[in-house]
Chains A and B, each alone.
Chain A
């Protein structure tokens, strides 16, 4: 009797915890509409909520360790997305075999092109000497270019670069600096920080730049040689700003003066700070779902699933009488448990995940059927209801254990190998199957042991008598 009480208490505690996790008020509640209003605590995948997933390969030079670069890439993308207002986006590292990729997930985004342009900006931030400025609708041609050898590759020194804001202004720039022992470039990796401020000495605003120790040595060399000339700061082949060098700078910081508005100063600082993507990104795959499509599909699946569920519930009652009612309670119990766990663990519910939930209905019913068939067998042998229930559960335990563990094994393997939305399926399947074992072995047992007098014993015993006559 003692273990029976324990089962009842555990069942009640578990269901209350699940309900609490499910209904705990959340901040996002007001954002959801339609069927999602009731699921405000559950994190929805991009395929349901609508959104974009973009995955990029890094185009690495041979011998470069991707592990050294990936964190920087993630940081830069994060900053770029934040600056553009996509603060909900998730930027993450994807390890697949010996390859490392970067994945960007932007929920609820409709203007994918803008976001993609932002992420996919392939160029780097670099500083270059301004040789000439021209006005032209098309890119002017460089007649006689010079070449330098950088990192074993021959690169042209001069290039025309367009102004960020003015489409017709072209700067002829020298990308590589040829003073010093060997030619070098000055890229954004040398810039540690950039921020906007008010100019306290003159009118207008300024941008403070801070360089790395190696960067300051290079910068000293550059400014020493270019006093009175213009230095362009270029991002993604657009000139952000091209200030004049006033003096040789020996410290690790510099100031860009002569900016008219605080907005412009902030913008320049943000572009310099966020601009340095150390490597080219090549799109690997892209998945975008509009919010209407996801919602439409989900509503149909939920409706179809509920209809199926209803049919199953009626079927169970018709077939097993009171025990069928208990099976239906178990079914509802397990559904609430699953939703509660999903809400509590912040696992992401995807479309295949919904399918996984529907499948756990099957597992729950299956477990109940296995147990009830055992109980019926015991009843046929003429045992009293309570004893029959107890024996039935004890005997069914290992069958259930073996049968469900194989499903969990398949789920774990799937979770480990799958990516994206299918992972959501593996999660709901694992939670659901474990939940159905708990529901069947603890909850159903607690209910049936308390209500064994409601089982129609005669129905099964008379069948046994008839069998005996034969």
Chain B
């Protein structure tokens, strides 16, 4: 038997520390917002020869001086029909604001300036999100988060008890804030896929918490009066810990290769899950259940 409950104050303190660190990073360093949320233009080009980031920047700034501030990154090489192609992603801060002419000019001048250097480039991907679209996606992300929280709180209250619902929501907020902190620290891009990761993480975190609560509910019926509430909670956590570890480990094992080899497109998603699984497992063992003990004690009956 591992004593999860006895040391709860230490772990609650640790969690507070992590949450506060996360919040500090979120509010000072902020996020690396993708074009989904910030608006802007993002494109991926492939070239048949290796080009330095500086060269690309020079070409961009010679087309329009504003483009000099672009974010440019080299992506992994692309193997098409046995010939190696190099890939670069470019993010421009401003949207081309729906202008077909601007876009055509950008593509044409890029192609011609590269061909002057005897390099053939192709546009593999082109995303242009206007500021309005970004605003809209942002507001919807908030609606989605708030509505799912309300629904989940209602469901847990219905199936368990209000105090458990609050405990689950606290654990959930804890997981999401800490994961957001990690996004901020490592500068991982927040895009629509990252939001999907947050919502999945929410589902997973709750899933974990509910399995523990379920066991507590069962053991309270069985052991009421015989053992103290602390002991009941501790026994319950110990009984499900194998399951928690197995599930988290297997999920982590599936997500990890995707994070490593999945490439840029899926990285923001895989990162959220990889971090989230670890944090979520920790919180369901050390935070979600121990935190409701005081509450259960006061109300006594379940």
> Footprint of B on A, CB under 8 Å?
55, 57, 96-97, 112-113, 116-117, 120, 282-290, 292-293, 296-297, 300-301, 303-305, 307-309, 311-312, 315-316, 319, 351-352, 355, 358-359, 361-362, 365-366, 369-370, 373, 377, 398-399, 402-407, 409-411, 413-414, 416-418, 420-422, 425-426, 429
* B78 CB within 8 Å of chain A: yes
Known: A311-B254, A362-B204, A362-B250. 10 other contacts (CB 8 A): A283-B97, A286-B126, A292-B124, A296-B80, A297-B265, A352-B196, A365-B251, A366-B251, A403-B214, A409-B152
Q: Are A406 and B207 in contact (CB under 8 A)?
A: yes
Distance A127 CA – B192 CA, assembled complex (angstroms): 46
* B148 CB within 8 Å of chain A: yes
Which residues of chain B come closer than 8 Å to A429, judged between CB atoms? Answer: 200, 203
With both chains docked as a complex, state the minimum distance between the C-beta of A192 and any C-beta of chain B, in angstroms: 30
Q: Are A409 and B144 in contact (CB under 8 A)?
A: no
Cβ contact of B211, chosen from A285, A319, A399, cutoff 8 A: A399
* B140 CB within 8 Å of chain A: yes
Q: Which of B256-293 contact A (CB under 8 A)?
A: 256-258, 260-263, 265-266, 269-270, 273
Give the nearest-CB partner of A362 in chain B: B251
Q: Are A301 and B266 in contact (CB under 8 A)?
A: yes
Distance A285 CA – B193 CA, assembled complex (angstroms): 17
Q: Are B250 and A285 in contact (CB under 8 A)?
A: no
* B162 CB within 8 Å of chain A: no
Cβ contact of A410, chosen from B122, B127, B152, cutoff 8 A: B152
Distance A286 CA – B129 CA, assembled complex (angstroms): 6
Cβ contact of A290, chosen from B125, B263, B273, cutoff 8 A: B125
Distance A362 CA – B258 CA, assembled complex (angstroms): 14
Known A413-B144, A422-B195: A116·B254 in contact at CB below 8 Å: no
Q: Are B128 and A286 in contact (CB under 8 A)?
A: yes
The interface stretch among B15-23, B55-63, B175-183, B241-249 is: B241-249
* B190 CB within 8 Å of chain A: no
Distance A404 CA – B206 CA, assembled complex (angstroms): 9
Distance A345 CA – B214 CA, assembled complex (angstroms): 35
Contact count A vs B, C-beta below 8 Å: 214
* B66 CB within 8 Å of chain A: no
Q: Are A355 and B104 in contact (CB under 8 A)?
A: no
Cβ contact of B132, chosen from A284, A288, A292, A358, cutoff 8 A: A284
User: Of B99, B141, B143, B266, which is in contact with the most chain A CB atoms at under 10 Å from its CB?
Assistant: B266
Q: Are B202 and A410 in contact (CB under 8 A)?
A: yes
Q: Are B261 and A358 in contact (CB under 8 A)?
A: no
Cβ contact of B203, chosen from A57, A96, A410, cutoff 8 A: A410
Known A283-B98, A406-B203: A55·B133 in contact at CB below 8 Å: yes
* B44 CB within 8 Å of chain A: yes
Q: Are B257 and A308 in contact (CB under 8 A)?
A: yes
Known A116-B100, A290-B124, A301-B266: A308·B202 in contact at CB below 8 Å: no
With both chains docked as a complex, state the minimum distance between the C-beta of A351 and any C-beta of chain B, in angstroms: 6
Q: Are A309 and B254 in contact (CB under 8 A)?
A: yes
Q: Are B196 and A355 in contact (CB under 8 A)?
A: yes
* B210 CB within 8 Å of chain A: yes
User: Of A112, A289, A422, which is in contact with the most chain B CB atoms at under 10 Å from its CB?
Assistant: A422
Give the nearest-CB partner of B87 in chain A: A293
> Footprint of A on B, CB under 8 Å?
44, 46, 78-80, 97-100, 103-104, 107, 122-130, 132-133, 136, 140-141, 143-144, 147-148, 151-152, 155-156, 159, 192-193, 195-196, 199-200, 202-204, 206-207, 210-211, 214-215, 239-240, 242-243, 246-247, 249-251, 253-258, 260-263, 265-266, 269-270, 273
Distance A113 CA – B273 CA, assembled complex (angstroms): 37
Give the nearest-CB partner of A398 in chain B: B214
Cβ contact of B199, chosen from A120, A370, A413, A421, cutoff 8 A: A413
Q: Are A365 and B128 in contact (CB under 8 A)?
A: no
Which residues of chain B come closer than 8 Å to A420, judged between CB atoms? Answer: 192
Q: Are B148 and A288 in contact (CB under 8 A)?
A: no
Known A312-B254, A403-B211, A425-B196: A283·B100 in contact at CB below 8 Å: yes
Q: Are A305 and B254 in contact (CB under 8 A)?
A: yes
Q: Are A113 and B129 in contact (CB under 8 A)?
A: no
Distance A405 CA – B148 CA, assembled complex (angstroms): 12
| 8 smallest beta-carbon distances between A and B, as pairs | A283-B98, A308-B254, A407-B203, A304-B257, A362-B251, A417-B144, A290-B124, A293-B124
With both chains docked as a complex, state the minimum distance between the C-beta of B102 and any C-beta of chain A, in angstroms: 10
Q: Are B129 and A418 in contact (CB under 8 A)?
A: no
Q: Are A369 and B44 in contact (CB under 8 A)?
A: no
With both chains docked as a complex, state the minimum distance between the C-beta of B88 and any C-beta of chain A, in angstroms: 12
Give the nearest-CB partner of A413 in chain B: B148
Q: Are A289 and B125 in contact (CB under 8 A)?
A: yes
Distance A361 CA – B192 CA, assembled complex (angstroms): 22
Q: Are B196 and A422 in contact (CB under 8 A)?
A: yes
Cβ contact of A358, chosen from B103, B148, B258, cutoff 8 A: B258
Known A365-B247, A406-B155, A407-B204: A370·B258 in contact at CB below 8 Å: no
Cβ contact of A304, chosen from B99, B247, B261, cutoff 8 A: B261
With both chains docked as a complex, state the minimum distance between the C-beta of A3 and any C-beta of chain B, in angstroms: 24
User: Of A312, A365, A366, which is in contact with the most chain B CB atoms at under 10 Å from its CB?
Assistant: A366
Give the nearest-CB partner of B146 in chain A: A413
List, sorted by A's number, 12 A–B pairs whose CB atoms are closer than 8 Å: A97-B136, A113-B104, A120-B100, A285-B128, A297-B262, A309-B254, A315-B253, A352-B269, A362-B204, A365-B251, A410-B152, A418-B195
Which residues of chain A come closer than 8 Å to B97, judged between CB atoms? Answer: 283
Q: Are A407 and B207 in contact (CB under 8 A)?
A: yes
Cβ contact of B127, chosen from A288, A292, A319, A361, cutoff 8 A: A288
Q: Are A414 and B133 in contact (CB under 8 A)?
A: no
